[in-house]
Structures are given as structure tokens and as C-alpha cells.
A and B are shown apart, each in its own frame.
Chain A
């Protein structure tokens, strides 16, 4: 194969607090290949990418770029050398136009001023060359997620990146958009670009990669040609244990009388006189998981806020929990009725990062009898409850006094799920519950949701991860541009591509078909 463009030799990174993120990692990246880096959360992928991109410096070991030693100090040096990175969380300024976002930091000038005309020309040509179908004068805030990602990729191309790092690029895309991205990536490699692809989604890794490097606990488990590795082998390399693939057995179906834990009736909400929620009606029965599939930004956030009681925008329609209308009830009152909530943004809405695990484990039911005595918190009980939950949910932490914010994403989510699970809910609202966390943690979260269901709770699962929705839901609705585009009464009998069509608005069912979601 082609020459080596980037060579990592014996890279070790030990952080100030003694955490070893990478140990003796050797990887060679070949020019023109798509090279995937896979591994669980905390396996050291991010740190390795930060070292390549000049954000972190290795404790020992050498980075060689195009045959020369390259220990970049700061991302600017990496960018200048021809390395670009598309971050998982987009680094864009929504109120800037596409062209301004692209040229930021490397602006063409005419005298003292930005040469807007030539900037527009150059970026538009670049976009057209790669068939990105962008108008560079549009504001980024008006673009879809997939288009924003294209802006990010254009940013790297504008700076003549030869090596492009993509961190979890498909986590926000529909299956169709993912395929489009893959075609574009293939196009890049034909033009001599090298792609480093980081992902949790193994099927995508198998589909797109030329070669794959597996990281586990900061150590490289080897680089393999894609075709010499089966999916099962790859999975084993990543987690070092066979995945319990017993979701189906676990899905014992009991009947809980067909009563509804949650009913949502005719919710309409306007934003700039456009309907962001357009006559949404469905029910979650006791003892079932109702999956809400859809690309991010199609009304799911407002739907969840409305159900949970966080919505500030006026709406019409009813939210009914356990047969009682709750439109005017506060979040706390709804929680007292048995609602639990796993919020999408775990770091902001799910936990208080600076507080210990113990406080976070009881923060939504601090006034419960087993947690507080009269007006005072019972710290002994809190500590005991936390220890039990840490054990039961396999939270990796030294003890319950550790600040939650210092844990990895997967472990933070376990704390949130443990707390919500311990409220003994009869209605669980799970919003993107496994977004960006590792396979092991995601599996645990799924099991706990199914466990709740089997005990008779209704679970509303809102997720952009199609596999997740299909795997653990009993029934599925698909949201597109604020309305329910499709209703699938049997999640075990469903075609992913078919679902994708509804997610993208290609197909839409009749009101009668969708009406089935209500369980009347």
C-alpha cells in the first residue's frame, strides 16, 4: 500500500492526576486510507486524537508526520501542517454565515479588511467541487445538522488538510445521510486525503474502513485490515468479553392491563408561526417501551420538555400521566406522580458536576423518607444508598465522595440512570439515554430500561440512535418536522431503511395509521 503519512511510536500519555490515557501506542496511518480507531469510552481515543492534533503533548513517544518528527504545540501548528479535525460537538458559530465560519482564523484580506468577495468565491467553489450543496452566505443557524457537518469538513478542506480526523461523525446523521457522508469520504481518499474515523458504531466502521485499530484501556490491541476481521472478533477486541446478546430473551412480555402510563393528546406548539409540534398524539402503556425515532431537531426536545414540565413555550393539547391531566403541574409534582426523567444533556441537566456522587444519587428525591429526617438530610442513609447504587449500576469510581463531573461520560450516565431508577417510577422518560457512551454502559442502561418495563412501568425512549430504538422498543413512532410521520406497532418486525424513509420525510403515513399510537 501507499506511503505512511502519520506514524505514532510508543505514545504514552499520563495526565497530571496519574490517569494513564495511552500506553505505548504504535499506529501507522497510510496515505489515502480510511483508518478507524475504535474502543470504549475512556479507551484513550480522544487523548490520542488530541495528541495528533496538537492539543495535548505526549508524556513520551514520538509523532512522525510525513517522515518528519512532529510534536505540535497547539492545534494551529497541526492545522498548518495539513491536519484537520471535525469535532463531535460542532465548533461552529451559529450566528455567523457559512463563509465566515470557514474562513475564521485564516481570513483572506484586502488591505486591512476582510476580502469578503474572494472568500465567498473560494468557499463556494470548494463546496461545489465536493457537491456539498451549500450556499455559503446562509447563516449556520439555519442549516440542518448534516449540513453543519459539511461546513466543518469544508473548514478542514479550506485549510488544505490532507489528513482529516472525524470524531463520531455519524452520531447525528440518519442512515441515508451517513451513506452520503461515506460516499464523500471515499471521494476524499481518491483525491489523496487520509481519513481517521472514530466511531462507536461497529457496523459503520466495518462498512467504511480500510484498516481498523482497536484501543482498550489506553493500549492498542493491534491494527487490522478490515477484511480480516469479523464483527464478532472486532467486538471481542473492544470489550474483551462476549456481549450478552440476550435482549430478546430479556423481553418477556407481560400484560399490565393495557392501562396508559402516559397519554399525549393533540399537542400543538408554534415557533415563528411554524408548528414545531404539529398535533402529536400517542400513548405509552404500562409495561411497554415506546420508542420515538427521528433525526435530532424534529421536535423531540420540545415534546419531551412538554411531557416533563420544563416547556416555557405555550402549547395546546393535553399531557396525561396515569390518567390525570398534568398540563399545569410542576416537574416536582409530576415526579411525585411517579415520573422519572433521564435528560439528554447529562452534564448540564442530569447532574451537578462539582457535587459528590452521593448527593447526585438522591437529588431528585431528596425529600423522600429514607433520605431525609424531617428537615435535615440523612447523610448516612444517602451514603449507604449511593454505595448500593454504585455497586448495582457498576459505576467506576473510587468512592461515593468523588465529584460526578470527574467521571467519564458513561459513568456519569450510570449515576443519572441509577438515581432515576431508584425513584421507582411508573413512567420513565429516557431522552438519548446512551448518546456518546461506550457499549458496556449502553448495554447496562438498556437492561435497566427493560427491567423497568418488565416491572410494569411505561418507558418513553426518545433517541436518534435507530439501532437502540429498534432493539429495545415494543412500539415505535417516528417524528419528522414536528409531526408523527409513522407509527410501527411491532418493533421486532421492522426494516431500518424503511424507518429511515420516515425519518427523512420521504414517506408519511395517513392519520388513521398514525392514530394507532394512541391505544384508544
Chain B
């Protein structure tokens, strides 16, 4: 416990926050146009697997990553097709995608490796880390900022870029308008459906990168159950943030910190229980916010949702 708040612990938090940040961005990107993408967990699973397989087939980590992202986009677009074009219930489509993905991933893994547990037998180049010149030699700052996995930097840059896209560009303003009042957007001449498909594609890319991070950057192989609820944590973070980008990032960080805590704190015989702490934290946060909101409504300090 004594070594909890060390530099090293902070780097652990950063490492564990990254996939949740990707998942949170994925959930936010869909929600911003009023779409609920609950298939993030499934997309992360499929992209984690196909990143590794692609990397194995092409013997290139970059190409493997692109293949993983492509899979994420394909799944996102198929969700759009089923729910918007064919009129299926978006939540049911999401549930179907999640359950389908976990069993399909198992089948594909077995086809490629002959094993059902992991991709350990597949020789696949993975993404490494990045040492920032000059900064890496500065004490403390160097440890904090330099030497992280490549996708950690990518997640931070994408979070920033997506903020700018959403809040500073015409496209982003139109996307937000779709989510806030689709009728108003429509009468302003905006093609709401097209922007919703676009936002689902953004969502698919973010979720895919989250999955790829887990298998090709943080881990070096695909393991069954690798996503382990982190997609859902992203959805929870977005729910907690309730449309606020700042809160979204904070929620992702808090959930990531809880995961780091769970790994760091090692209590014999209760390891599994401690491992459940992050999930419990998500649960407590959601309930707490709901209670706070109810009190606010009663006190008349906030309009009913």
C-alpha cells in the first residue's frame, strides 16, 4: 500500500485508462448524434482479434492495426444498416452484436490457431512504445510523459481532435444538433441520418482502437475475454458525463484509476474481490448520480430530464 502513489503507479493508471478512454470516446461519439451504441464491447473484442490476425498475415503492426480498425468500422456500419435502414431496434442489434462477437471471436481464433485460449501461437508484430526525444531525459516529467505505448499518445491526440471537431467545426455543431433536437436539425437542412451513420463510424473507430490497444499494445497477444467489460465502462463513463466532454474524460480517468488500484492492491485470497472494485465503482457512481439528480429535482434546482 505504501508505494501506491508513486510515479510508477501513475504510469499504471495511464496505461489502464487508455482502453476505457477509447471506449468512452466511442460511446460519446455515437451519443452526440443521439445514437446509443451498446456494441462497443463486441467491437473491441473483434478488433482486438483481427488486429492480431491482420498483423500475423501482413507481418506489419501498422497494417494489422488498420485491419482491426476496418473491422470496427464494418461492425459499426452494419449496426447502422440494421437499425436505420432495416428498422431493427438499436439496443437489440447492439446486444446481438455483443453476444455474436464473443462466440464468433472464439470460432475464428480456433480456426487460425487451433487453440481456444489465446493467440500465443500466432507470430504477430505488435505496436511498441515511444520515447519522446529531449523530454525523456528530464527527471520525473520524462517518466510521466515519455515512454508510453504508442496508442496511449494516439488516444490523447484523438480525444483532443474529437473535442475540436465536436465543438469548433460546422460538422460537430450539426452532429450535436442531431442529438439535441433532430427535428430542429432536419428543418435546418441537415441530413440527420447521414450524420448519425458518420458518428457511428467514429464510434466504431474509437472502439476498435480500444480493442487493438488491449491485444497489440498493452498485451502482445489476444486472449479470450480480453476486453473484460471495459467497453461497458466506457458506456458508463459517457452516461455519467451526460453530454459533458470534460466529465467524460474525468470519468474515464477515475475508472482507470480504480483498475490500477485493483491491480496494485494485492490481498491474498481476496484478489478476485479486489478485481471487482472498478466495476463496483462504476455501479456506485451511477447510483450516486441518480440519487443526486433525484434530490436536485425535489429541491427544484434542476429541470426534470
Contact = CB atoms under 8 A, between A and B. Distances in A.
Given A114-B173, A312-B304, 19 more contacts: A75-B186, A76-B189, A85-B187, A91-B183, A92-B181, A93-B181, A93-B184, A95-B180, A96-B177, A96-B180, A112-B169, A113-B169, A114-B170, A155-B188, A270-B299, A271-B300, A276-B300, A312-B297, A312-B298
B188 A105 contact: yes
A94 B181 CA distance: 9
A89 B170 CA distance: 25
What are the nearest 10 A-B pairs in CB distance?
Answer: A105-B188, A76-B189, A91-B184, A271-B300, A107-B170, A313-B300, A91-B187, A104-B188, A93-B180, A105-B189
A66 interface: no
Interface string A81-112: 00001010101111110001100111101001
30 contacts: A74-B189, A75-B186, A79-B189, A89-B183, A91-B183, A91-B184, A92-B181, A92-B184, A93-B176, A93-B177, A96-B176, A104-B173, A104-B177, A104-B188, A104-B190, A105-B174, A105-B185, A105-B190, A107-B170, A107-B173, A109-B170, A114-B168, A269-B300, A271-B300, A273-B301, A312-B298, A313-B298, A313-B300, A314-B298, A314-B300
B297 A313 contact: yes
B174 A104 contact: yes
Interface SS, A side:
loop
A241 interface: no
Interface in B159-210: 164, 168-170, 173-174, 176-177, 180-181, 183-190
A272 B300 contact: yes
Pick from A79, A100, A105, A269 the residue with the most CB of B within 10 Å.
A105
Given A104-B174, A104-B184, A270 B300 contact: yes
A272 B174 CA distance: 31
B94 to A, nearest CB: 24
A452 B114 CA distance: 79
Interface in B257-294: none
A276 B297 CA distance: 13
A92 B182 CA distance: 10
A441 to B, nearest CB: 25
A100 B173 contact: yes
Interface string A249-288: 0000000000000000000011111001000000000000
A272 to B, nearest CB: 6
Nearest to A274: B300
A272 B299 CA distance: 8
B184 A314 contact: no
Contacts of A96: 176-177, 180
Interface string A161-172: 000000000000
A74 B298 CA distance: 44
Interface residues of A, number: 33
A94 B243 CA distance: 14
A104 B181 CA distance: 12
A53 to B, nearest CB: 9
Contacts of A112: 169
Contacts of A314: 298-300
Nearest to B167: A114
B186 to A, nearest CB: 8
Contacts of A94: 180
Pick from B174, B180, B299, B300 the residue with the most CB of A within 10 Å.
B300
B189 to A, nearest CB: 4
B131 to A, nearest CB: 32
Pick from B170, B173, B177, B299 the residue with the most CB of A within 10 Å.
B170
Nearest to A302: B300
Interface in A297-323: 312-314
Nearest to A90: B184
A458 B164 CA distance: 58
B122 to A, nearest CB: 41
Pick from A79, A87, A112, A155 the residue with the most CB of B within 10 Å.
A112
Interface in A458-485: none
A93 B190 CA distance: 14
B172 to A, nearest CB: 9
A273 B301 CA distance: 7
Contacts of B177: 93, 96, 104
Nearest to B179: A93
Contacts of B164: 113
Contacts of B188: 91, 104-106, 155
A105 B178 CA distance: 11
Contacts of A271: 300-301
B2 to A, nearest CB: 46
Contacts of A269: 300
Nearest to A272: B301
Contacts of B304: 312
B299 A313 contact: yes
Interface string B133-176: 00000000000000000000000000000001000111001101
Pick from B174, B176, B188 the residue with the most CB of A within 10 Å.
B188
Pick from B170, B177, B187 the residue with the most CB of A within 10 Å.
B187
Contacts of A89: 183
A354 B192 CA distance: 25
Contacts of B170: 107, 109, 114
Given A93-B180, A114-B169, A114-B170, A104 B185 contact: yes
B192 to A, nearest CB: 11
B161 to A, nearest CB: 11
